[in-house]
């Protein structure tokens, strides 16, 4: 089993990162967190987390400040399916290469979080597992998620890197921008947030179930760029999820855009957006259609077999947690339709 007494977490201040750090602290793991300049440090960390301020693209310059670690959890990336491709590459791909350099120096276990968006055009067609072929990309996000996995495999094969790749499904839970806060805002404003009937698997993973898999991977001996899909596997449809979210918000039930219309509009809106050099993403993109416009049934058999993964949070528990959260706090919007 791999050691996990100390961990360096990039993207520690983000949605997944905050949940990961919380669980690592609960398991008495010593944590060093990379924070961006000006990024607020969660009050709950207190003096239990050592923070390093810096740029993920220049990690090797911080090697002495960070110090040797047993494990690197690499979460930092540009999240969203819009924006300049070079920006995505610089931060997501080059940042991954920098994190790999640190892992090689320390002989640390490198656990990188990519995304089901690495499947690209293979999404929304039914069942997928770790052996399913990747499809053709349509966004910088999809491209960079595939590249993160490529450079990780290269590090293993060429340099002897110890690495595990986790592909999260659509991550929800308290603090999720696209799948909770944005959807809550759309429901309250009675904006369509379903594609078609929505009567197909939404491919959800609760953030605490994802964290459980990340930590299980870090403690495992699956270090040869083994890929694991992180999903709940509950078979919850988009219609069921969004209907339940509307119910706990006291909002009207979700309305939909016809699936054929969404599929047809996505490439046109993308083309116009690029032509007009829009800074904000279009209402619907090919990537967001792939995430919501068809069945995404992700197998977790490999994770159960090799990592002993069992989802700790049920769908009912997840919705109860959201109900309690919204009972005392109002959500804020977040635009990108991406998973991590």
Note the pLDDT tens digit of each residue in 158-168: 999 999 999 99
Q: What is the pLDDT of residue 338?
A: 43
Note the pLDDT tens digit of each residue in 178-219: 999 999 999 999 999 999 999 999 999 999 999 999 999 999
Mean pLDDT of the chain: 93
Specify if 56 maps to a domain: yes
The whole-angstrom separation of Cα 283 and Cα 285 is: 7
Q: What is the pLDDT of residue 337?
A: 41
Q: What is the pLDDT of residue 1?
A: 72
Specify if 189 maps to a domain: no
In the chain, DSSP finds a helix count (H) and a strand count (E) of 12, 13
Distant-in-sequence, close-in-space partners of 155: CB < 8 Å, separation ≥ 6:
100, 103, 104, 110, 161, 163, 225
Residue 335 pLDDT > 60: no
State the residue for tokens 């905050």.
18
Backbone angles phi, psi at 51, to 5 degrees: -100, 145
Note the pLDDT tens digit of each residue in 102-116: 999 999 999 999 999
Q: What percentage of the chain's residues is helix, strand, coil (to nearest 5)?
A: 45, 15, 40
Pair of tokens at residue 58: 């220049």
Residue 333 pLDDT > 80: no
The whole-angstrom separation of Cα 259 and Cα 99 is: 40
Note the pLDDT tens digit of each residue in 264-293: 999 999 999 988 888 888 889 999 999 999
Residues of the domain holding 97: 6-172+205-233+297-314
Pair of tokens at residue 304: 């159960």
List, as one string, the DSSP characters of 153-189: HHHHHHH--EEEEEEE-EEESTT-IIIIIHHHHHHHT
Q: What is the pLDDT of residue 166?
A: 98
Residue 98 pLDDT > 80: yes
Whether 151 contacts 96, CB under 8 Å: yes
Burial class (CB in 10 A: 0-12, 13-18, 19+), 340: buried
In the chain, how many domains are there? 1
Closest Cα partner for 33 from 64, 66, 78? 66
Collapsing DSSP to helix, strand or coil, 30 comes out as strand
Note the pLDDT tens digit of each residue in 211-252: 999 999 999 999 999 999 999 999 999 999 999 999 999 999
* Region at 8 (left for phi over 0; alpha for psi -120 to 50; beta for the rest): beta
Distant-in-sequence, close-in-space partners of 204: CB < 8 Å, separation ≥ 6:
169, 170, 171, 172, 179, 231, 232, 234, 236, 241, 315
Q: Could you tell me the CA-to-CA distances from 83 to 141, 271, 277, 280, 333 in Å, in that order? A: 9, 13, 9, 8, 18
Residue 47 pLDDT > 80: yes
Specify if 137 maps to a domain: yes
E-assigned strand segments in the chain: 6-10, 30-35, 49-53, 71-74, 109-113, 126-128, 162-168, 170-172, 194-195, 204-206, 224-230, 256-257, 296-298
The whole-angstrom separation of Cα 114 and Cα 123 is: 15
Pair of tokens at residue 51: 């923070």
Backbone angles phi, psi at 208, to 5 degrees: -75, -25
Specify if 34 maps to a domain: yes
CATH of the domain at 25: 3.40.50.720
Specify if 292 maps to a domain: no
Specify if 216 maps to a domain: yes
Q: What is the pLDDT of residue 83?
A: 83
The percent of residues in the chain predicted with pLDDT above 70, rounded, is 96
Specify if 262 maps to a domain: no
Q: What is the pLDDT of residue 283?
A: 86
Specify if 340 maps to a domain: no
């Amino acid at each position: 089993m791999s050691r996990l007494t100390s961990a360096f977490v990039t993207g520690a201040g983000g949605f997944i990162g905050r949940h990961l750090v919380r669980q690592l602290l609960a398991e008495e793991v010593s944590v060093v967190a990379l924070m961006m300049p000006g990024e607020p440090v969660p009050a709950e960390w207190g003096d239990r987390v050592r923070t390093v301020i810096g740029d993920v693209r220049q990690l090797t310059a911080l090697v002495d400040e960070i110090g040797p670690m047993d494990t690197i959890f690499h979460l930092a990336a540009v999240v969203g399916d819009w924006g300049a491709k070079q920006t995505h590459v610089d931060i997501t791909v080059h940042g991954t290469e920098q994190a790999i350099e640190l892992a090689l120096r320390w002989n640390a276990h490198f656990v990188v979080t990519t995304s089901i968006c690495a499947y690209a055009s293979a999404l929304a067609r039914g069942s997928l597992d770790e052996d399913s072929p990747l499809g053709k990309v349509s966004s910088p996000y999809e491209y960079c998620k595939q590249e993160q996995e490529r450079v990780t495999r290269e590090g293993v094969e060429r340099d002897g890197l110890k690495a595990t790749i986790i592909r999260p499904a659509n991550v929800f839970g308290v603090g999720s921008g696209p799948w909770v806060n944005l959807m809550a805002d759309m429901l309250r404003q009675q904006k369509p947030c379903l594609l078609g009937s929505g009567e197909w698997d939404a491919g959800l993973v609760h953030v605490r179930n994802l964290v459980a898999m990340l930590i299980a991977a870090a403690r495992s001996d699956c270090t040869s760029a083994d890929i694991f899909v992180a999903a709940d596997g509950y078979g919850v449809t988009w219609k069921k999820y969004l209907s339940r979210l509307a119910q706990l918000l006291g909002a009207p039930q979700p309305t939909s855009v016809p699936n054929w219309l969404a599929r047809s509009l996505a490439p046109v809106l993308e083309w116009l957006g690029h032509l007009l050099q829009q800074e904000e993403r279009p209402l619907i993109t090919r990537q967001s259609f792939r995430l919501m416009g068809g069945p995404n049934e992700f197998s977790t058999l490999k994770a159960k077999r090799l990592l002993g993964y069992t989802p700790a949070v049920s769908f009912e528990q997840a919705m109860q947690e959201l109900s309690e959260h919204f009972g005392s706090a109002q959500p804020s919007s977040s635009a990108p339709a991406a998973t991590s």
